[in-house]
Chain A
């Protein structure tokens, strides 16, 4: 299976799981694998129709699904988060990211779930 086939399958599976869970046609408009110049890499899944309330109520399930999607693409699910459209309850994307050391510090400095108002952390394996 090519990497694009795997991505397509992964996107469809996650979308289907979220629709079954939330009983609404949540739309995953794009799944991307990325690598940033700072050293971070991972996947971004752009969402439509997913809202902060969904995340708060079904956090456990959504985290599990995202964890599975990330592992399926061989990306260790050590840092999973949702990004909100600033100032709203709309979830713009779900993300799994392998953090570089500098970005790790940006996220690790705080202790709560929202190190920035547009970031909602679902899972964060802190380093020693």
Chain B
């Protein structure tokens, strides 16, 4: 199994992360947002010299380095002569720094990188490749690897069709805690891409999408189980699709990341599934989902028609297993959800 592991972006974090690198195939981090941003929050902006040093350090430990520049909206800057030259220069510098692969969401960058450089070109989850047709398009643009949209992580006929349609590598993101069929998905990633990219910084009052994302799950906890994460124990169900898995979460502490590495490399986790999911801490501290009690649910999800109002499986499972942390003074206790699936 090849495990791609998030890295917060500074040397100290990398040293902690790779103290025992046995289970880590590659680490990935963002670059500086001055050229191409990323579609997720960033905690650092490593410059080219830092990227070079960290790449060397990773290579010394037998670990590959991937840079993620997966802005889902460039605002057209990349199509201007000035923007193109700037980005082209940055890609060239990244190539010289010795990195192994580069993840992008913009189709133009896929073609540009594949024509000019030997770096592995990876299509981001933020390209939303959720069908064999789209996978073929990206392969023809030059993709070496495609990270499949997690929205189809539990749609096995679709995954198998994608596998059969392309010869490039496939990667699955295992722990994204996003809402299934989230209505904010494109808007939120576009917002992040501008907030964490070149151009004027936004002075937003509040992240509307973030608050809605939390509120929807608090009011309807079955959404927690509908999110298309993959339990460590269920990786075996995906081995005919790919042997390459990606853990999300480059804004988390190294301790959290290593806990995930241990769980997914060991294909076992005895604890709260929320500990593994890349989702806001606010709901991690609210819900308790005993991972062990989800054993076997994959069998239902493999044959699921995704018509929730007719099925009701996730709702019933939520009522059965999901608990809520509550505080009595300073002591924490767990309480069940009520029968309506609401707190």
Contacts and interface: CB of A to CB of B under 8 A. Distances in A.
Interface residues on B, range: 20 to 34
Given A87-B42, A112-B12, A115-B13, A38 B285 contact: yes
A30 to B, nearest CB: 16
A117 B16 CA distance: 13
Contacts of B9: 117
Query: Taking each of A38, A107, A117, A118, which has the highest tally of chain B beta carbons within 10 Å of its own beta carbon?
Result: A117
Contacts of B281: 38
Contacts of B45: 86-88
A38 B32 CA distance: 33
Nearest to A118: B43
Interface residues of A, number: 21
A12 interface: no
Contact of B12 (A38, A114, A118): A114
B131 interface: no
A117 B41 CA distance: 13
A105 interface: yes
Interface in B20-34: 32-33
11 contacts: A37-B332, A108-B255, A109-B253, A109-B258, A110-B13, A115-B12, A115-B253, A116-B8, A117-B8, A117-B10, A117-B44
Contacts of A36: 285
Interface string A83-102: 00011100000000000000
A112 B45 CA distance: 19
Nearest to B30: A87
Contact of A116 (B33, B43, B327, B332): B43
A82 to B, nearest CB: 14
A108 B8 CA distance: 16
Nearest to A86: B43
Contacts of A108: 255
Main SS at interface, chain A: loop
Interface string B325-340: 1010010100000000
A115 B254 contact: yes
Given A37-B285, A37-B325, A116 B13 contact: yes
A105 B255 contact: yes
Nearest to B331: A39
Interface string B47-71: 0000000000000000000000000
A117 to B, nearest CB: 4
Contacts of B254: 109-110, 115-116
Contact of A106 (B41, B253, B327, B332): B253
A38 B42 CA distance: 23
Interface of A: 36-39, 86-88, 105-118
Nearest to B34: A87
A108 B254 CA distance: 10
B256 interface: yes
Contacts of A114: 10, 12-13
Given A110-B13, A115-B253, 17 more contacts: A37-B286, A37-B325, A39-B330, A86-B44, A105-B255, A106-B255, A107-B253, A108-B255, A112-B12, A115-B13, A115-B16, A116-B43, A116-B254, A117-B43, A117-B44, A118-B43, A118-B44
Contact of A37 (B12, B33, B327): B327
Contacts of B32: 87
Given A114-B12, A117-B8, A106 B42 contact: no
A111 B42 CA distance: 22
Interface string B284-309: 01100000000000000000000000
Query: Taking each of B8, B45, B286, B325, which has the highest tally of chain A beta carbons within 10 Å of its own beta carbon?
Result: B8
A86 B40 CA distance: 12
A83 to B, nearest CB: 10
Contact of B255 (A109, A111, A113): A109
A87 B256 CA distance: 21
B43 A87 contact: yes
A87 B330 contact: no
A105 B33 CA distance: 30
A117 B255 contact: no
Query: Taking each of B33, B253, B286, which has the highest tally of chain A beta carbons within 10 Å of its own beta carbon?
Result: B253
A123 B41 CA distance: 27
